[in-house]
Amino acid sequence: MFISKCIKYYLKRLAKFYCIISIGLLIIAGFIYIKYKPLYKVTLNGEVIGYVESKEKMQEKIEAFANNLEGNVTSITIEEMPKYELELVSDVKESETKEDVVLATVKEQAEVICKVYAIKLDGTEKAIVNSREEAEQVVSDIKSGVNSEINVNLEIEEEEKNKKEIDNNQTTMEVAKLNINKDVQFQVQEYERKQAESRAAENRRKQQEEKQKAAQASSKKGASAPATSSGMFMRPVTNAIITSKYGQRSSGFHTGTDFATATGTPIYASAAGTVIYSGTKGSYGKLVIIDHGNGYKTYYAHCSALYVSVGQSVSKGENIAAVGTTGNSTGPHVHFEIRYNGNTLNPQNYV
């Protein structure tokens, strides 16, 4: 009896003791649950780069990044994949737990190689585009806008480049076109400058020849050489724009210089002389021709009104007609010609 009483007593105490212990443990567990969070510590190359709740979700995100890269990706090298370690973590800042932070770090160290198409001008890379079709389109668009006599050296090269490098340099077709065209236009200007120079040189040579011929002819006749000194001729209009120069153009040889200005603007005699024509003449429209002697004549075409008549002497600068657009003309201008012994000269060498 006594022994069984004792056992009962001890069992009761033991039960009480366990009860207290388990309550205590529950309190501790509750405390841990509130204060600490089970998170995966993510390390990359030995460095902690953040904490995530799910290892699987994180890996899925990394795979999605690799699978959804834009452009012609040829290879992705992620030297080391992150390592995960489950930890009870306290005081984790909100930002450190974000998967995006971890993903950004993984992206940063990933080496993505893409296939791109570089457009080169004279061997120097000028633009990078996504496909060969785009590159070809850019090149043909640029070439079609340039005089075919100019040899624009544009090449397309397939290249493999690091995506980081591409992201800073790759452009749309439109931007590529604009950028390359800037450089091409320099070449065009250079070409045109050289053309103009050689034309001017050719004109000077011809002029020199004409002078020599004239001098020879006149010395034979015993007359004085024709006056070709600068200042003999003046421009037939003031404040006009030259819209077409003397010389070869696509529609044929242009025998004079076109000075464009408003209809009705006075046209002045380029030099003193005698009017030998004043009327309408084919594609010239309303035309005045003045003979200055010594083989020189000037033509004033497309006039709207004529103020002089044949046989009349005019002085240099006298108002002889008004600007118009008669005859073969696309807008108000005076087509001005200087002729020597019937051959046209480049008026811009004289006025």
**Which residues lie near Zn ion (CB under 5 A)?**
258, 335
Residue nearest to Zn ion (CB): 335
Q: Choose between 120 and 245: whose C-beta lies nearer to Zn ion.
A: 245
d(CA 240, CA 346): 17
* Residue 258: CB minimum distance to Zn ion, A: 4
Q: Choose between 335 and 339: whose C-beta lies nearer to Zn ion.
A: 335
Token pair belonging to 112: 């993505």
Token pair belonging to 350: 């004289």
Q: Choose between 2 and 253: whose C-beta lies nearer to Zn ion.
A: 253
Q: Choose between 161 and 335: whose C-beta lies nearer to Zn ion.
A: 335
* Residue 317: CB minimum distance to Zn ion, A: 22
Amino acid at 326: T
Amino acid at 236: P
Q: Choose between 286 and 335: whose C-beta lies nearer to Zn ion.
A: 335
Token pair belonging to 85: 């370690």
Q: Choose between 99 and 258: whose C-beta lies nearer to Zn ion.
A: 258
* Residue 243: CB minimum distance to Zn ion, A: 8
* Residue 335: CB minimum distance to Zn ion, A: 3
d(CA 82, CA 55): 10
DSSP β-bridge partners for residue 222: none
* Residue 221: CB minimum distance to Zn ion, A: 33
* Residue 254: CB minimum distance to Zn ion, A: 6
Q: Choose between 37 and 245: whose C-beta lies nearer to Zn ion.
A: 245
Tell which residue, 169, 172, 176, has the closest CA to residue 142.
Answer: 176
Q: Choose between 235 and 335: whose C-beta lies nearer to Zn ion.
A: 335
DSSP β-bridge partners for residue 278: 288
Cβ(283)–Cβ(337) below 8 Å: no
* Residue 303: CB minimum distance to Zn ion, A: 13
CA distances from 63 to 45, 60, 76, 109, 200 (A): 19, 5, 11, 15, 68
Q: Choose between 226 and 347: whose C-beta lies nearer to Zn ion.
A: 347
d(CA 7, CA 87): 45
Token pair belonging to 318: 């006298």
Q: Choose between 41 and 335: whose C-beta lies nearer to Zn ion.
A: 335
Q: List helix spans (H) across 98-240.
A: 99-109, 132-144, 163-169, 173-221
Residue 276: CB partners within 8 Å, gap ≥ 6? 289, 290, 291, 297, 310
* Residue 203: CB minimum distance to Zn ion, A: 17
CA distances from 339 to 18, 55, 346, 347 (A): 128, 92, 9, 9
* Residue 212: CB minimum distance to Zn ion, A: 28
- Beginning with the edge strand found earlier in the chain, give each strand of the sheet holding 47-52 in spatial order: 47-52, 36-44, 83-90
Token pair belonging to 34: 């509130």
d(CA 104, CA 166): 18
* Residue 332: CB minimum distance to Zn ion, A: 12
